[in-house]
Structure 1
């Protein structure tokens, strides 16, 4: 089994980001959507250059997290913050995803929020063929859509995994992951990547010891 990728999401602090540069992290997420972890385009523009100093052959890719943005909003932010990936967390259409890829030359990750007991068999993905560079599953949250800090029933992963394999794109799992449960997910369901935010925080702030423990569990 190939080694899973790691995404640490919700970075806001320069010193925390600098403290991570010796860890094998694949993606760093910056939240532009409404959230307590939200950053501005100017803040992200100050943080992204730190990724160039990463202590490994391949630097992490920068990911911007958005919920139902307009093309104009994306244009404004991308002019200031040179993101590698735009992660779309709302009800963005396949056409919108294609437009973002074409207009801005970025990769596009689409997030699906998984409701408990509601296995959609991946049927909602048919129209996204060729429009995505990655699919991310998160736990449904009625207020924000995702980012709840809760896990979903991982048995619901299978149809989405089948679809991403057919498409040749990675499947990334988020939702309630932390150093103590990510090993079970990887062992039993073999996703291509994992995404964590609140699970590596203490009192709402990123905790480098928890980040290190999480990365070590994934990459060991």
Structure 2
């Protein structure tokens, strides 16, 4: 056995809306289950999140996945309402939330905070990278992970498009230097996720539309995705 072997990347299945879909995942080593509270066709209400949390609390096969809620520029009141209903393990922020806001969220709710940074599908260039890195420096000590995603002008994630993956090493190095985890999202699916992991070794991957058929979560695709991540 290679003592220096990387631990398997964490898997986050996002956009879960249905209790039955979540129950069908109970035999899979999923690390995070994501629900969306921002404008999206996958948006759910706090009451639905509470029902999903009940299923997670009864999870026995593997370690229980952490329940993650996705928001875009939420108010504290909105977060309060969701946390009262469902007690999220992770609050994931996809808007223009400031470092001070992230820190306030972390302290107030004692949760992990993930901050998403989105890139246009085809954008590249060192200037854009430098600008983002300067921005990221302000978030050190206020977040637990960064999530790199493809920019979608309408919705929080779930665009189904990959961004320029050659950007990843720069951000991975930044994250490693600051003890922050790096997750990659955007256009991932069972047939490209192993290539991503073997090439760039992120700490975790996040999928939504890539495990859907006709806009509905597909347990066969979820299973294939999870297996390929854990094998990679």
User: What range is the shorter-chain TM-score in?
Assistant: over 0.9
The yes-or-no answer on 1:162 pairing with 2:177 is: no
Supply the RMSD in Å over aligned alpha carbons: 1.1
Name which of 10, 17, 41 aligns with 2:15.
10
Q: Please give the alpha-carbon distance, in whole angstroms, between the structure 1 residues aligned to 2:60 and 2:211.
A: 21
Q: Please give the alpha-carbon distance, in whole angstroms, between the structure 2 residues aligned to 1:39 and 1:72.
A: 17
Q: Please give the alpha-carbon distance, in whole angstroms, between the structure 1 residues aligned to 2:203 and 2:88.
A: 21
* TM-score, structure 2 as length reference: 0.92
Name which of 41, 46, 62 aligns with 2:46.
41
Gaps of 5+ in 1: none
2:64: which partner in 1? 59
Secondary structure of 2:138's aligned partner: helix
CA displacement at 1:145 relative to structure 2: 5.5
Deviations 1:27-67 (A, max 9, x none): 00010001000000001001111112324342100000000
The yes-or-no answer on 1:215 pairing with 2:226 is: yes
* TM-score, structure 1 as length reference: 0.97
**Corresponding residue pairs, total:** 220
Secondary structure of 1:99's aligned partner: helix
Mapping of 1:174-213 within 5 angstroms? 174-213=185-224
Q: Please give the alpha-carbon distance, in whole angstroms, between the structure 2 residues aligned to 1:124 and 1:83.
A: 26
Secondary structure of 2:113's aligned partner: strand
Gaps of 5+ in 2: 1-5
Mapping of 1:67-216 within 5 angstroms? 67-115=72-120, 116-118=123-125, 119-121=128-130, 122-144=133-155, 146-216=157-227
After alignment, is 120-129 or 180-189 more displaced?
120-129
CA displacement at 1:201 relative to structure 2: 0.2
Secondary structure of 1:120's aligned partner: helix
Q: Please give the alpha-carbon distance, in whole angstroms, between the structure 2 residues aligned to 1:26 and 1:102.
A: 23
Q: Please give the alpha-carbon distance, in whole angstroms, between the structure 2 residues aligned to 1:77 and 1:58.
A: 23
